[in-house]
Structure 1
Amino acid sequence: MFIDYAEILIRGGRGGDGAVAFRREKYIPKGGPAGGNGGKGGDVFIVADPNLHTLLDFRYKKDYFAQDGKPGGSSLKDGKGGENIIIRVPPGTLIKNAETEEVIIDADTPGKQHLLVKGGKGGKGNSNFATPTNQTPRFAEKGKSGEQIKVILELKLIADLGLVGFPNAGKSTLISAISEAKPKIADYPFTTLEPNLGIVRYKNYNSFTVADIPGIIEGASEGKGLGLQFLRHIERTKILLFLIDVTSENIQKDYKILINELKQYSPLLAEKPAIIGLSKADLLDEKELKKFKKKKIRNTDAPVVLFSSASGYGVEELLETVWYYISGNY
């Protein structure tokens, strides 16, 4: 199950209390203060784990508390510090303050560790409070509470290529044809209900990742259909591939609707380098194929590639164009 949103409570460990103790040694009836300091509370870290692809685990566990520090002991023995905890999230996860929705951490680099909350400081033992006028202090300092915060985890997939198109435009068929991903495919709209991520092996041991999101309909940027829920997953892609069914009654209008939805959601998204793929070329006869091979889309410089995932027609040309763009040649 793909889960891309979660809310969790995170707390650093409490610092251990300082100890009140005195030296008790043979022939020394009145030893001085010997209370040790409390241990520091554990910290909480976030790390992006490339082996994770969903926030599913956070649906079942909502609280993440680091271990408390141990109290100080006698004979000037300090308490042991609380163990840190590391929360692992998929790369591309944003960590936001749940109250302000301010982004605290962008966990976009696999393996990089981020400190999220600090544990409390351990209290000082009574050995720290001896003075010339009070050589036997009978008090110690309490440990401090750890930091606490409620956060939102929001996953944005990181991919080289993002597939954009109406429901049933052939996005899932394409990703299954060019990668090992096996999304659900059927001949009706909204077959894809959650994003799919595929890895495409290309010539000379090259590879790139593809993100397939549920189909966009007119009004997606306003929350219609499933588009708004998943549009954020193509925000981090390098390039976009607009997929339009070649049997559409008005290809130019379809492109206009798709690009307008992206602009309304995020103007920056609409400015990404793009390729236009006319899918389902296997449904055309020879005469129509020649006509569509010369097809141009107005108001864009994006190259247009005619292809069929079912028959394989034009797929190699499409992959060459995608790799050319991913390599920065645009």
Structure 2
Amino acid sequence: MDAARIDAFEAQRPRLLRLAYRMLGSVAEAEDAVQDAWLRWTKASERAGDEVVQPAAWLARVTIRLCIDRLRSAKVERAAYRGPWLPEPLIEPLTHDPVERAEDVSVAFLLALERLSPLERAVFLLHDVFDEDYGSVAETLGRSESAVRQLASRAREHVRDARPRFSVSQDEAARLATAFAAAATLGDMAGLSALLAQDAVLVTDGGGKRKAALRVLAGREDIVRLMEGIAWRGQTAPPESLRTARINGYPGFVLTLRDGLSTIAFQPGCDGLIHAVYIVRNPEKLGHVAGQEGER
């Protein structure tokens, strides 16, 4: 393969990874899908000579179809998942690129995408997040433009409330995360309660591999009761290491505990309270995070 074709793929790789992650909710699977797209790109280049005149469109089409295939094959596995499912934590700096808007990688948004069919998800992401026109989306998915418009409309109904309608400053969000960590470390249940919205939720994903709540905890009182139970059982040993991070656009922490790595992210609200806490403990979802920690 000539250097121009390699450069054409590498220029699209970041965009393809962003698209695949939002489709699959998995950093590792997104990387695998993009690698598969690379293999198809090399074969197409060998077969077609100079016929691939729009690399960006061709690669997006291949990547999205690979992701749809992965989602369909993973349907049974997802249905049998032990406990609540969360996407693999995405730890990355915020940029000025519109596709990197925090609400488009937020856990709430990715969970809303989980309610969509693979085709609905693909249409919504390509059109509403990555700003492709309907004609281009229809060509990518092999559907009529009218069918694509209907899929987009249905998808928007499901995800309408998942994107925040307000902006919380990074400083305020970080303050809430730090205050929660301090109250939890000190066993200050009154302090914890004061930081949580009345309808706050706590979701812990252990995947059956590590200790985690097997249901979503809904409401401030439910969350505080859990924290009280953990403290009473003496399971609140300080982490071996802790660093602040931006996790799926939220303030949070990467922690090394006695039983391994975890991430915790906090979804803030404009009322100065925490509306959701997302904890990933499943080691199968933290391999890329462990790699980042090893590089530090």
TM-score by length of 2: 0.20
Q: Relative to total residues, which structure has the larger strand share, 1 or 2?
A: 1
Q: Relative to total residues, which structure has the larger helix share, 1 or 2?
A: 2
TM-score by length of 1: 0.19
